[in-house]
């Protein structure tokens, strides 16, 4: 008989549930309404959550047996870490699981925009072959890529850009990355200098009080009017009204956006109508490999339930349940 009860907020790869089988029973929530989540957590020892839904004090208080919340992914902005720590609840995540997927999405988005692949596909389907003579796009070789935040994902983006595409890289971060400077010729600069110098700017920052809406009207005003802005980090780091204005006015050349202030993105959002934007539904981190890797947060769930140390702790409760 299984010892533990684990609930899943959303579907995960079978590798994660296979790991639970035999040690825990698990169930998938039918929806993320407060009533459903609060009802289920009362009997839960552990939870695996994804990007949607908010998991805060009310839920943690309802789950008196709850020992651990596992974030299927990297960002934990939808889990109240302080509240969990105060209540003796571990929070774990999968910080290495999807770096390659996100980095490849960013580079792919950049190339798709530069080579006009989305508009070319649409034009071809409608017989508009004249597009080839009026919308050339551009080559990225020799261009400057500005990376805001060079953790695992930002560093991998830099590596692909330099070694694969012969781009120059500047970066802005709270830490020096001597390895990137030595191996890739990257240069650490101030954020303002990065915004002013870069041909392509990509954001790789968590959503914190310091980074919320850091890409605002002033930031877009500092960019080149040909600049491409890419965000596959967190929606709230961008002032959505400001980027819409910048795209409409030609203040910047374009954007590739995978995340938004409110998700799903409203169908009447002005972003839906802008021709100089490529949109995707918060899927940069999803590939067949990364989905398997992220699902294995279940292993840390089991480690904690069995009284062992987790591999990827986000917090460290003084008095764990």
| pLDDT tens per residue, range 132-187 | 999 999 999 999 999 999 999 999 999 999 999 999 999 999 999 999 999 999 99
Average pLDDT over every residue of 72-77: 92
Task: Please identify which of the residues 82, 139, 263, 308 carries the catalytic annotation.
Answer: 263
Can 204 be counted among the known catalytic residues? no
Strands (E), 85-227: 90-92, 144-148, 168-172, 187-188, 200-203
Q: Which of 215, 210, 209 is nearest to 240 (CA)?
A: 215
pLDDT one-digit tens code per residue, 94-117? 999 999 999 999 999 999 999 999
The pair of three-digit structure tokens given for residue 68, joined into one six-digit string? 């651990």
Model pLDDT, residue 155:
98
The pair of three-digit structure tokens given for residue 59, joined into one six-digit string? 């839920």
Distance CA 59, CA 34 (A): 9
Domains of the chain: 4-97+288-305 (3.40.50.720), 99-279 (3.40.50.720)
Average pLDDT over every residue of 64-93: 96
Distance CA 218, CA 179 (A): 31
Task: Please identify which of the residues 72, 87, 234, 303 carries the catalytic annotation.
Answer: 234
pLDDT one-digit tens code per residue, 254-307? 999 999 999 999 999 999 999 999 999 999 999 999 999 999 999 999 999 999
Distance CA 85, CA 65 (A): 15
- State how far the alpha carbon of 81 is from the alpha carbons of 51, 62, 96, 305, in Å: 15, 16, 19, 18
pLDDT one-digit tens code per residue, 216-251? 999 999 999 999 999 999 999 999 999 999 999 999
Model pLDDT, residue 314:
98
Can 105 be counted among the known catalytic residues? no
pLDDT above 90: residue 2: no
Can 234 be counted among the known catalytic residues? yes
Task: Please identify which of the residues 105, 156, 282, 303 carries the catalytic annotation.
Answer: 282
Across 128-153, b (16+ Cβ under 10 Å) vs e yields eeeeeeeeeeeebeebbbbbbbbbbb
Model pLDDT, residue 52:
87
């Amino acid at each position: 008989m299984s010892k533990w009860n684990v609930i899943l907020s959303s579907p995960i790869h079978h590798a994660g549930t296979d790991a639970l089988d035999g040690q825990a029973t698990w169930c998938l929530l039918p929806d993320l309404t407060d009533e459903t989540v609060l009802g289920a957590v009362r009997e839960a020892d552990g939870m695996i959550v994804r990007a949607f839904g908010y998991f805060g004090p009310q839920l943690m208080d309802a789950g008196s047996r709850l020992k651990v919340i596992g974030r299927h992914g990297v960002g934990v902005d939808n889990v109240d870490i302080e509240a969990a720590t105060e209540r003796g609840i571990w929070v774990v995540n999968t910080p290495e699981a999807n770096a390659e997927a996100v980095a490849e999405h960013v580079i792919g988005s950049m190339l798709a925009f530069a080579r006009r692949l989305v508009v070319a596909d649409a034009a071809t389907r409608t017989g508009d072959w004249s597009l080839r003579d009026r919308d050339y796009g551009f080559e990225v070789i020799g261009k400057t890529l500005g990376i805001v935040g060079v953790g695992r994902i930002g560093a991998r983006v830099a590596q692909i850009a330099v070694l694969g595409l012969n781009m120059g890289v500047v970066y802005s971060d709270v830490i020096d990355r001597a390895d990137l400077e030595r191996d890739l010729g990257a240069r650490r600069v101030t954020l303002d200098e990065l915004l002013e110098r870069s041909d392509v700017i990509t954001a790789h920052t968590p959503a914190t009080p310091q980074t919320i809406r850091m890409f605002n009207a002033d930031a877009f005003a500092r960019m080149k009017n040909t600049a491409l802005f890419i965000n596959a980090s967190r929606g709230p780091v961008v002032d959505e009204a400001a980027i819409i204005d910048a795209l409409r006015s030609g203040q910047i050349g374009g954007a590739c956006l995978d995340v938004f202030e409110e998700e799903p993105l409203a169908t009447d959002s002005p972003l839906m109508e802008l021709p100089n934007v490529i949109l995707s539904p918060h899927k940069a981190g999803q590939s067949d490999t990364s989905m398997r890797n992220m699902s294995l947060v279940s292993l840390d769930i089991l480690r904690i339930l069995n009284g062992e140390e987790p591999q990827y702790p986000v917090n460290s409760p003084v008095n764990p349940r």
